[in-house]
Amino acid sequence: MTAFAHSEGAGLRALQRRLGHEFADTGLLTQALTHRSAATVNNERLEYLGDSILNFVIAAALFDNCPGASEGDLSRLRASLVRGRTLAVIARELELSALLILGPGEKRNGSSRRDSILADTVEALLGAIYTEAGFAETRRVILDLFDYRLHHLPQAEATKDAKTRIQEWLQARGRALPEYELVKRSGPQHAEHFVARCRLADTDLHCTGEGGSRRQAEQEAARHVLEQLTGEQP
């Protein structure tokens, strides 16, 4: 066995310990770590499955743990827990970056550190666990991974995105809703960059924001405008 293969095997064993699940089929584990750029047999289908199970398990946990929360509050709390940014943090806690199997181009681009790929891989791992061991085991793993976050939930108001908060702030004062426009779109398809502007129709106040999607750029622009209006971080 080469030193590289030994190191890779040790990494997979360590990942399984961190997950709290030992795969009987290590080929399934490898598939969950394989990006579409590296092979025809990759983790996209497992990601689809894991995403669906994750959303259900977190929704059910919030339903049980937050009996006084409204449907809107539950939806926002769930979204904050299963969003890509949160899953990318969990991926880093699992130390996934070094274990991702990427095509040469993605390796050169440093994609092992990209939030979206890390988040997708977490979902694929959950899909792989479900495929091998069923729902009860997958639910156990999810609740273990999210245990701290489920017991330290943010205030429901804090989970509202910036565009929602600025809209509510303006409506409460009888003011016109903000306008959004795309200022710039650049970069290759796999790594596009957007700049958007949020403008208040009844004043000269406007701010720009940037992000990897138009929605992210608009949210960032809205956040900056809200800071100007309220003097606080949203």
Q: What is the DSSP string of 11-47?
A: HHHHHHHHHT---S-HHHHHHHTB-TTT-SS-SHHHH
Residue pair 94/18 in contact (Cβ under 8 Å)? The answer is yes
> Which residue spans of the chain are classified as CATH 3.30.160.20?
162-230
The third-level CATH classification (topology) of the domain covering 162-230 is Double Stranded RNA Binding Domain (3.30.160)
Q: One-letter amino acid identity for 155?
A: Q
Catalytically annotated residue among 47, 51, 73, 218: 51
What is the predicted pLDDT for the residue at 112? 76
Q: Which residues of the chain have pLDDT under 50?
A: 1-6, 232-234
Three-class SS state of 114? coil
Instruction: List the structure tokens of 130.
Output: 């479900």
What is the predicted pLDDT for the residue at 117? 92
What is the predicted pLDDT for the residue at 234? 38
Catalytically annotated residue among 47, 73, 120, 123: 123
Residue pair 161/223 in contact (Cβ under 8 Å)? The answer is no
44 an active-site residue? no
25 an active-site residue? no
The third-level CATH classification (topology) of the domain covering 3-153 is Ribonuclease iii, N-terminal Endonuclease Domain; Chain A (1.10.1520)
Report pLDDT digits (tens) over 107-155: 887 777 888 899 999 999 999 999 999 999 999 999 999 999 999 987 7
What is the predicted pLDDT for the residue at 3? 39
What is the predicted pLDDT for the residue at 159? 61
